Amino acid sequence: MIALIILVVSAVAALVCALAVGGGAAPLQLADAGPLARWGLPVSKLVVNMSAAGMGGALFVALFTVRVEQRGFELALDVAAVCAAIFTVASAATGFFSFMVIFNPAFNAGPEFGSQLGRYLVQTEGGRVWLMTTIAGAILAVLTFAVRSWGGTATVALLALAALVPMGTQGHSGDEASHQQATTAIVIHLIAAAVWLGGLLLLAIIRSVTSKSEMATVLMRYSTIAVIAFALVAFSGTVRAAIGLETLGALASPYGLILIVKVVALTAIGVLGAIYRLRLLRRMRANPSDAKTFWLLLCAELGLMGMASGAAAALARTPPPILPEPAGALTPAEVLTGAPLPPEWTMSRWFTAWSPDLLWLVAAVLGLIFYVSAVLRLKARGYRWNPWRATAWVAGTLLLVWVTSGALGAYRSYIYSAHVLGIVILLVGVAPLLAAGAPIELARKAAHRREDGSRGGYEWAQVLMHSRGVRFASAPVVAVPATAMLIWLLFSSDLLRWTVGDLLGRQMATAATLVVGSLLVRGLIGGDGSSRRPTQMKLLMVVGLAVAMAVVSVYISTAGLVAADWFGAMGRTWGRAPAEDQDFGGVVLAAGSAIAVVLGGWVVFLSRAR
C-alpha cells in the first residue's frame, strides 16, 4: 500500500508541475472548454497509463516469474481485474474530455449533445480510438475475472498489451513528417513502460504473500525483463524525442524541459535497477532476510516511475516546438501518405534507400542478441552449435531488416511491384532462413530449464510450438491454403490499400506473412510428427502453393489496376506507369512461385533423407 501511495502521489505531483510549466491545462483564448475538461483530460490519461500497467504489465510479468498455483499469481489476476475496470472508466473519461476540449459543446442532457458526442466517437479517428479502447477495457475486465489458467492468462495479457496500440496513434505524431516512425516509437514505449511499471507493482503487491526465498527468485527473473523493458523505453523515447524536438535548441522550450525531467527520472531508475541487479539481488539470494535496502530502493524506483508517468501524461498535452513547414500546395503523394514522394528508384537506391521500421528493427536486434547469447552459452558449456544454422539466422534477420527498412520498405507504399517483392522475399526468403536457424532447438539446449513449475522463455516456447493450434495450423493441408489465401488478400483484395497505406496494415501484413511462412516451413520440415507425413503429399502441397501463386500472378497481370485510387493517384512521374508496374508485380509473383517449388522440393527431399 505504501508503494502504491508513493507511485500515485509522485505521478500527480509531476503531472501538475509539468502542466503548469508546459501550459497543457492553460485556458484557451477562444472556445475554452473550462477547467474541468482541461485538467480532466491529462488526469484521466495518466490514470489510463497507470491502470494499463497494472492490467497488462503485471500479468505479463507474472507469467514469467511465478507459478500458477501460487497465491501471488492469483493476486496478480485480481489486481489486473481491478485495473481493467479502472482502465475502462478512465478511457471513457478520456474520450469524453477529448470531445469537450476539441469541440467545446454546450454541456447538457439534451439529445443534441448526445448526438454530437456519438458522431465524435464514431466518425473521427480520435473518438474511435477511445471508443475501441473503452470497449477493450470492458472485455478485459470480464476476462480477468474469468481466467485462472496458464493459457487463459497469457491470452488476456497479450490482449491487454495489444489494447495499448490504438493509444499510440494519438498525440502530436500525426502532424510530423516522420509520422510512422513516431507512432511506432510511441507504441513500443507504451508497451515496454507498461511491462516495466506493471512488474514493479506486482513485486510490491505479492511481497506479503510470497516467502523470502521465493521472492528472491522472482526478483531475479523480473530483473531480466526490466533490463529489456528499460532498453526499449530508452530507445523508443529517444526516437520520439528526436522527432518531436527536431533541434537541440528546442530542449529549452517547455516541451523540452518536461522531456528532460522524464529522461532524468528514467535514467535514475536505470541506475537503481543496475545497483540491485548487480549487488543486492545476489545478497538476497544468499541471505533472503537481507532485503530491507532493496525494498527501499524499490519504493524510490516507484516514486521516480511516478514522476516519469506524470511527465509523460503532461507531455501529451504540451505541443512540441515544430519548425515552420515550407509553404506550397501538397503533392498527391503527400496527401495520400503524409510524406513526400521518394527520389527515383535507381540501382544505387537498392542499397542506399533507408526508411527505418522501428518495430522490425527492434525485433531483429533482439533476435540477434538472444541467438548469439545462446550460442555463446552453449560454447561455454563445451558444445558447438552448427555454424550454418547460425549463418541462416543472421542472414534471415538482416534480410528482414532490409525488406522492412531498406529500399523495399521505402518504396512499397508507392510502387505495387515493391510491395509484391517484399512479401515474396518474406515468404520464401526470410521465413525459411529463420526456420533453418533452429531457434527452438537452440533454446532447448542453451536455456536454463526451470524445475519449480514456473515458466520462462524456453517453457513458453515449448508450450507454443507443441500446442494443438500450432500443430493444426502447420499441417500442410492447412498451411498451404492459408498461404494462398494470404497472397490473394495482400495482392488482389480490398485489403491491399490498407496494407500499403496504413501503418498498422503494413505491420499486420509483415507479421502475418512471417507467421504463415514459418508455419508452412514447419509443416514441411518436421515437428510433432509432420516429418512422418508422406513425401507425395508434401510435394503435392508444394505444387499446390506454387499453382496458387501463379494463378494470382496471372490475375494481377491481366486485371485492371488494383487500388487505382492509391497507386494510380500517387503522382509518380518516374519509373513504370502504374499499370505496367502491376504487370511487373505479377512477373515477380510468378518468379516467387518458381522459387517456392525449388525450395519446397529441396526441403521435402532433405527431410525425407534425414
Percent of the chain residues topping a pLDDT of 70: 89
Contact indicator for 418, 567 with CB cutoff of 8 Å: no
Q: Is 487 exposed, middle or buried (0-12, 13-18, 19+ CB in 10 A)?
A: buried
In this predicted structure, the answer to whether residue 177 has a pLDDT above a threshold of 50 is: no
Sign, CA dihedral 15-16-22-26, equals positive
Residue 286: what pLDDT?
A: 65
Q: Among 79-93, 318-332, 358-372, 426-440, which is the least confidently predicted range?
A: 318-332
Report pLDDT for 322.
60
Q: Which residues are CB-contacts of 508 (< 8 A; sequence separation ≥ 6)? A: 499
User: Residues 4-31: what's their mean pLDDT?
Assistant: 80
Check whether 172 has a pLDDT greater than 60.
no
Segment 561-590 mean pLDDT: 87
Distance in angstroms (rounded) separating the CA atoms of residues 391 and 372: 11
Give 319 or 551, the one with higher predicted confidence: 551
Residues 6 or more apart in contact with residue 21 via CB below 8 angstroms: 254, 257, 258
% of the chain at pLDDT higher than 90: 19
Residues with Cβ within 8 Å of 148's Cβ and at least 6 positions away in sequence, in order, are 68, 74, 77
Least confident of 297-301, 534-538, 550-554: 534-538
Residue 175 has pLDDT above 70, yes or no: no
Angstrom distance (rounded) from CA 270 to CA 263: 10
pLDDT digit string, tens, across residues 259-268: 888 888 888 8
Q: What is the mean pLDDT of the chain?
A: 83
pLDDT attached to residue 404 = 93
Question: What is the structure's pLDDT at 528?
Answer: 43
pLDDT in tens, 204-241: 888 878 887 788 788 888 888 888 898 898 888 888 87
Task: Give which of 303, 223, 321, 299 is closest to 266, Cα–Cα.
Answer: 303
pLDDT digits (tens, 9 = 90+) for 404-420: 999 998 898 899 999 99
Query: Cα–Cα distance between 42 and 407 in angstroms, integer?
Result: 40
Confidence of residue 195 (pLDDT cuts 50, 70, 90): very high
Q: Grid coordinates in use for 118? A: 456519438
pTM of the predicted model, to two decimals?
A: 0.87
Residue 184 contacts residue 503 (beta carbons within 8 Å): yes
CA nearest neighbour of 149 among 463, 419, 432: 463
Residue 83, pLDDT > 70, answer yes
- What integer is the mean pLDDT of 47-55? 91
Q: What kind and span of H or E run contains 574?
A: none
List, in order, residues 6 or more apart from 197 with CB less than 8 Å away.
50, 53, 57, 305, 309
The whole-angstrom separation of Cα 92 and Cα 233 is 26
- What's the confidence (pLDDT) of residue 92? 93
Q: How confident is the model at residue 173 (pLDDT cuts 50, 70, 90)?
A: very low
Q: Return the closest-CA partner of residue 396 out of 429, 419, 362.
A: 429
Contact between 341 and 415 (Cβ < 8 Å): no
Residue with cell 507504451: 190
User: Of the ranges 299-308, 396-405, 543-552, which is most confident?
Assistant: 396-405
Provide mean pLDDT across the span 370-379.
90
3-state secondary structure of 136: helix
Write the burial class of residue 242 (CB in 10 Å: 0-12 exposed, 13-18 middle, 19+ buried).
Answer: middle
Question: Cα–Cα distance between 525 and 428 in angstroms, integer?
Answer: 14
Overall size of the chain counted in residues: 610
pLDDT for position 290: 58
pLDDT at residue 383 is higher than 90:
no
Environment class of 558 (CB within 10 Å of its CB; exposed 0-12, middle 13-18, buried 19+): exposed
447-490: pLDDT as tens digits = 778 877 888 888 888 888 788 888 888 887 788 888 889 999 99
Give the residue, 135 or 209, on which the prediction is more confident: 135
What's the pLDDT band for 176 if we cut at 50, 70, 90?
Answer: very low
Q: What is the DSSP string of 221-266?
A: HHHHHHHHHHHHHHHHHHHHHHHHH-SGGGGGSHHHHHHHHHHHHH
Phi, psi for 475 (deg, rounded to 5): -65, 135
